[in-house]
Structure 1
Amino acid sequence: MRMCKKWMALGLAAMMALSLTACKGSGSQGSKASDESAAAKAEGGEMAAAGGTDKSEKLVIYTNSGSNGRDAWLKDYAKQAGYNVEVVQIQGGDLANRIISEKNNPQADLVFGLNAMEYEKLKAESVLDPWEPNWKGDVDMTLGDADGYYYPIVIQPLVNIMNADLKNPPKDVTDLLSDEWTGKYTILNFGGGTGKTLLASLLVRYQDENGEAGISEEGWETAKRWIQNGHMEQQGEDYVGNVISGEIPICEMWGSGVLQNQTERDYKFQIMVPETGVPYVTEQIAMITGSKKRDLAVDFANWFGSAQVQAEWMKQFGTIPCQPDALNEASDDIKEFVNSVHPQTMDWEFVAFHIDQWVEKCELEFMQ
């Protein structure tokens, strides 16, 4: 139950921190670099010089958090700090499998964005190296790995967003099983971390040690009805636009995606907040075994995970940083969002053990 306690601590710590800290500046997407960003660039250069690394060498970074312009922004921002990076965006479930498949011929130097559930798989496959960032003492390491393989950078509550004008909106995912909501909610595919984790957040309510893959018959029937009554994400569709237009007024979304889309589209979503809470996950950063640029990869991770850079990442993309000094600069919309949700109690060790079985059963038996 160690990991379960970690994630509960994460949710409570995040909300307490945001409620106790003052908003020092909101920033905006696409804004010019602030004084803080200049300081971050300078600090990045100092750290690299101290480490004696050649920052002109190309670093290949795998992430599932490079969508919606994050990959391009990070590449350009890192370039200003002297780094030469290639950011490869791969959705969560596929990303872990990709790293494992490349075990004997690694193509990337480091990875960030995955949660502990995925990193535990990577540890078991011996594709990660232990390391230590220079900001380790700044973050709550109950959120990271006690063995030193991965470290926390961003908190992500996972929710369902809803059309602002939706009347009598559902309060829980289980409310969606009625005919009233047939075809009116989008489920993100289970290859991605958000879709997979939200599936798990439903199934863990029906934990049964005597049930198939640890889930009761009622739980599997509920999952079946939820999947078949909804709309599964289709490649290339604008599921956020469908929420705003009302065509499909409900959709799953990760926390920073909620905030980024609200800013970019000038729209305020309703948020579904079940009494049981919503799953909170923490994005982590780690070193891939076999990289020939280990020192440079660690140097980059020191820069990227610093309070200054995480503050800029937050201002650009609405992320919730694990760095307390970055969190101090949270904008009002970030504070409002985090204070509107609360963490669901989840046994993450149980989830990590069963998740692949759950996804396989749902894809083979329930998806039409």
Structure 2
Amino acid sequence: MNMRKAVIFFGTLFILFVLSACGKGQATGNANEPTTDPAPKVEAKSTTSDKPLIVYTNSNSDGKAEWIVEEGKKAGFNIEIVGAGGGDITNRLISEKANPVADVVFGLNHMFFEQLKAEDVLIPFAPNWAEEIEAGINDEADYYHGLVKQALILSYNPEFVEKADVPDSYLELANNEKFKGIFQARDDLGSATAKVIIASIIAQFEDPNGELGISAKGWETVERFYKNGVQIPEGEDFFSMFASGDAPIGTMISGNLAVNQEQYGTEAVFIHPEVGTPLVVESVGIVKGTKQEEVAQKFVDWFGSAETQGAFAEKFNAMPVNKGALDKASDFQRQIFDSVVPQDINWSFVTENIDDWVEKLELEIF
């Protein structure tokens, strides 16, 4: 083979290799994998368009993704769900903002939505149901609007913990050695739940002269909390550890609690800290740069409506913030929110600092 033919031959092989590699790079993983490789996509054929509406969410478990796809299909939408953790979804959207993939994002709490807003990832849109939402929940500039309310409730399993031995707060879990090794301390610090727990603890020690705005006592407390707590092994369900007694004290997410209790046949008894219980709201927003802005707006109008949120609440035992859907909330959810007192957390302060707090904890503890 002469030199000219060899160059052409190997050049052709290189091009075929590159094309093959690019094709393989389009595959996606599951919700537990890194941000760059999100969860499997759930797709349905649309009656109106062949191009799917890409929806990023951290609220795709327990059949939610499939339900949204099927109900959306009935409403004329071709929806493709991409699921991952709240922190992963947020980071992915920020990294993609120069060339966005998603059209809509929902399920993130206001900490994450505030980050997206600050990073210029969202566009303002006032859905036709905006005025039906409880006061103080929607973003005043219309960058995101509330869907579902969640309470993160410190709880214990009475099968393994005597009432006389119940801690009164996260702070007692951190400071009292008798609880060492029997309570859950999530080490997936990028997740929405873990970040809210960090905020609930550490924001009680706000100090303008302290490191990252937190007093030395605050850092000592939150570090003890994670060192003394039980980490959830990869692939393990946190409620199974709660039910088995491996970690019979932990944080319950109100929207998942009924399903978890029924699945494991275990009761979670609530602990009511004097400072209150952290509450968050899952919201929805439209991604800046979407090529399907009109369809995205129609989806948001449909998904957040009283009718759809009412049906969602009935199906998944959720607590909607659309006042027109409240009558569809279960008695179980109503009882939860009647019993908890919201913790007063400076969310602006938390949003501004949470990533730095997480980074410090990851570097110094895990």
Partner SS for 1:363: helix
Partner of 2:134: 140
Q: Which structure: larger Rg? A: 2
Aligned to 1:170: 167
Aligned to 1:180: 178
Aligned partners of 1:251, 1:88: CA distance in 2, in Å? 28
- Percent identity reads 39
| Aligned residues between the structures | 316
Match of 1:45 in 2: none
Distance 2:238 2:280 in 1: 22
1:291, CA displacement in angstroms?
Answer: 0.9
> Which of the numbers 60, 64, 74 marks the counterpart of 1:66?
60
- Say if 2:191 is the partner of 1:192: yes
Q: Give 3-state SS (helix, strand or coil) of 2:342's partner.
A: coil
1:145-168 Cα deviation digits (max 9, x unpaired)? 111111111111112232132213
Distance in 2 (CA, whole Å) between partners of 1:232 and 1:247 is 10
* Higher RCO structure (Cα 8 Å, ≥6 apart): 1
* Structure 1 Cα separation of the partners of residues 254 and 211 of structure 2: 31
Distance 2:360 2:232 in 1: 18
Quote the Cα distance in structure 1 between the aligned partners of 2:233 and 2:64: 22
TM-score normalised by L of structure 1: 0.82
Q: Structure 1 regions of 5+ residues with no counterpart?
A: 1-47
Instruction: Say if 2:94 and 2:119, in contact at 8 Å, map to a contact too.
Output: yes
Map Cα deviations across residues 245-277 of structure 1 (whole Å, 9 max, x no partner): 212112223220223322444432112221110
Q: Is the 8 A contact 2:261 2:267 kept in 1?
A: yes
Which of the residues 125, 134, 137 maps onto 1:131?
A: 125
- Structure 2 counterpart of 1:113, one-letter code: G
Using the TM superposition, name which of 67-76 and 278-287 deviates more: 67-76
What TM-score, normalized by structure 2, do the two folds share? 0.82
CA offset digits 1:314-352 (Å, max 9, x no partner): 122221101112112222111111122110011111111
Equivalent residue number for residue 106 of structure 1: 100
**SS at 1:143's partner residue?**
coil
- Unaligned 5+ residue runs, structure 2? 1-45
- Residue type of the alignment partner of 2:138: G
> In structure 2, which of residues 88, 99, 102 is the aligned counterpart of residue 94 of structure 1?
88
**Equivalent residue number for residue 302 of structure 1:** 301
Amino acid at match of 2:170: V
Contact residue 164 and residue 244 of structure 1 kept, 8 A: no
Return the offset for 1:56: 4.9
CA RMSD of aligned residues (A): 1.7
CA drift of 1:226 comes to 0.5
Q: CA deviation at 1:209?
A: 0.8
- Give the letter for the 1:185 counterpart: F
Q: Once structures 1 and 2 are overlaid, which stretch shifts more, 144-153 or 183-192?
A: 183-192
Listed one character per residue, the Cα deviations across residues 177-236 of structure 1 (whole Å, up to 9, x for unaligned) are 322221211122211111111111100111111100111111000011101000223321
Q: CA deviation at 1:68?
A: 2.5
What whole-Å deviation, never above 9, does each CA across 1:272-300 have from its counterpart, x for those lacking one? 22111011111110000111111111111
Moved more, 136-145 or 262-271: 262-271
- Give the partner amino acid of 1:223: V
Change (3 A) 1:131 1:339: same
**Matched letter for residue 146 of structure 2:** P
SS of residue paired to 1:226: helix
Q: Give the partner amino acid of 1:312.
A: A
SS in 1 for 2:98: coil
Q: CA deviation at 1:55?
A: 5.0
1:67-106 per-residue CA deviation (whole Å, 9 max, x = no partner) reads 2222122222222333221111111111111000011111
Taking the aligned partners of 2:49 and 2:342, their CA distance within structure 1 comes to: 40
Contact 1:310–1:323 (Cα < 8 Å) also in 2:
yes
